[in-house]
Structure 1
């Protein structure tokens, strides 16, 4: 078997194996949210003021420490319980960065440089809330796929929650697993095709390094709980701002994440959000390089 084919299989399987436990954990939380939490439980405790409401939603990841790939099924459950699509995007984008496991591993990897940790947390919080604000007036049917809206409107027999849980698990698994496999294969293919030497060549440029690491974050699709140690390997070759850009953009938008989000959101919305998050993450990286 050719080495490139072996690398493709290894990288693709690596993404799947890394992401699968978190997807299952996200499905577990999603089913609990849908079936066992009272319908108005979450909405009752959220502030009515939009900015405070989004800020609190973006902090839910602190209390639900699931990797970004597991947050997609969880967000689907929160949508079914009354969260707006814009609010669900705020949760999805902020949760993997504000996850306590992510914060701890980032601090351990960059223990001698608090700039990376602080800008990652603040940048993730700011971007998530800006995206939520931008789409706060967009209609639900303009953001969500019709198939998902139909699922949210399904009426289940509350007398047998175990049967309902199995129904949701089966449906969500059918939606998520093909998306995860396709996303992993795309990530593996791109990593095999793009030479590592080309990436390292641009590492010392304050501007180009930010662009390269943001693109790399999109391609490699590493879970946020371990991506800081991956970024640490590039520390000697790349600027600090580029590492911040990698650690901000990757947990929010990558090949695997987009494939999973496609099960819920319309393609045009995902394209717009991806571009906006990419530009904002690059801006944060450039500010770190040129100001700090």
Structure 2
């Protein structure tokens, strides 16, 4: 018996998100394992600047060295937290790294090769928004940002006498934590795309202001990895404004459904709600500036 079309679409969309994200999640888990087990505990603290603004700026640029999209950055950020980064600094990295990823930069340049405004606005906007949010949260109580389960896991296995066993332990723990979050996030993204037809969203995107909000919503729903989202956005170029495309390309790597699900393995729900609202406001403002100024 043939399954209902909506259910088929739900399965297809869910699997597409999982298949697209899984390689990057696995790569991020390997990076996280290496950082946790083989990176000396004080190495980051010794080599990063002491000045808070310079420190966060350099941390946000780590994405240039690690070609992992937002999905893989979550387990990597968890590893960096165990090596001395504060939750606010880790949040700065999470928001900036997928946009400053060299693969993301190259694909954006290829997709919008005749319009440097989109590429420059995406890079500068992502960097500034990530550092602004990192600065805001640097003045809060840091441990209060994290889930108690993650804090407890950081205290496990302080003895590094057998690094291979430690590596396997951390990889198993990250797999148990990340995979359910990825699957749940993919299912929610698939469900929303089935329930809310894309045509409905497109009908709302005719004005410079509304188009920005519509593309932010679309970025949240479709949950495309930052390494390929530029070509997805290119399909809307004839219908939507440049500012709305910039908002899409900036908001999506920072906050989408699967990203929130993955980040919830580490950060408290209240923090994620606050960060999501800040990112919505700032990326919408960025899009409006591009629309009305450039």
CA distance in 2, matches of 1:195, 1:248: 23
On the 8 A contact 1:187/1:219 being kept in 2, the answer is yes
Distance in 2 (alpha carbons) for counterparts of 1:136 and 1:286:
27
| SS in structure 2 of the partner of residue 59 of structure 1 | helix
Mapped to 2, the partners of 1:128 and 1:161 lie a distance apart of 34
Q: Once superposed, which parts of structure 1, at least 4 consecutive aligned residues long, lie more than 3 Å away?
A: none
Q: Find the counterpart in structure 2 of residue 248 from structure 1.
A: 250
Q: 1:230 maps to which residue? A: 232
1:183 aligned counterpart, secondary structure: helix
Secondary structure class of the residue paired with 2:113: coil
* Alignment RMSD (CA, Å): 0.7
Q: Is the 8 A contact 2:98 2:254 kept in 1?
A: yes
- How far apart are the structure 2 equivalents of 1:48 and 1:156? 26
Q: Quick one: distance in 2 between partners of 1:196 and 1:34?
A: 42
* CA contact 1:217–1:246 (8 Å) conserved in 2: yes
Describe the superposition over 1:28-68 as per-residue Cα deviations: whole angstroms up to 9, x where unpaired.
Answer: 00011011011111111110001000000000000011110
Aligned to 1:281: 283
CA contact (8 A) 1:101 1:225 kept: yes
Correspondence for 1:139: 141
SS of alignment partner, residue 19 of structure 2: helix
Aligned residues: 292
List per-residue Cα deviations over 1:133-172 (Å, max 9, x = no partner).
Answer: 0000212221000111111122343121111111111111
* Cα offsets for 1:56-91 (capped at 9, x unmatched): 000000001111000000000000001000000000
Give 1:1-292 correspondences, 5 Å limit.
1-292=3-294
Any gaps of 5 or more consecutive residues in structure 2?
none
- Structure 1: state its 5+ residue gaps: none
Q: Secondary structure at the match of 1:83?
A: coil
